Amino acid sequence: MTTETTLQTVPVPSRLAADELAPLMSRAMASFAAATRKSSIEPALLDLVSARASQINGCAYCVDTHSADAIAAGEDLRRVLSLSVWRETPFFTARERAALALTEAATRCAEGPVPAEVVEEAAEHFGPAELAELVWAVAAINAWNMVGATLHPWPLD
């Protein structure tokens, strides 16, 4: 006897259409995000950083978007699935690990200042301009996460 399981999804309703109600701010954020994509940091790493910050912040839409973008760009599925436990895997380079550590510390800055050693480690793998770009990219995704996790303005397909 076989049993068939049907997955019944539960939609998460939007709380507020933030993009429509505050278009000037939405366009400014979109421009900010576009600027981070023009950085010298490899796009795949920016997607991993964005997905990790989004996991921490609980923004389902952003986790989905940046994980899918990373995979579509050729990122290994195993690495994407291991982001939440990156320290426990051998899947990430020293440069990626430094970026992920900085992302986590900056994303959790309300819990305490970003430790100097985290910034120093990142500076060993990123030039000064790259490090600044990385911090701006983390700031951008954290801002998007705040909107997404609070208002659920963008539906998950």
What class does CATH assign to 41-150? mainly alpha
- The Cβ of residue 13 has, within 10 Å, a number of other Cβ atoms equal to 7
Q: Residue 84 — pLDDT band, cuts 50, 70, 90? A: very high
Q: Are 107 and 53 in contact (CB under 8 A)?
A: yes
User: What pLDDT digit, counting tens, does each position of 88-113 carry?
Assistant: 999 999 999 999 999 999 999 999 99
Determine the pLDDT at residue 15. 82
Q: In the chain, where are the structural domains located? A: 41-150
pLDDT at 55 over 80: yes
Distance between CA atoms of residues 98 and 42, nearest Å: 14
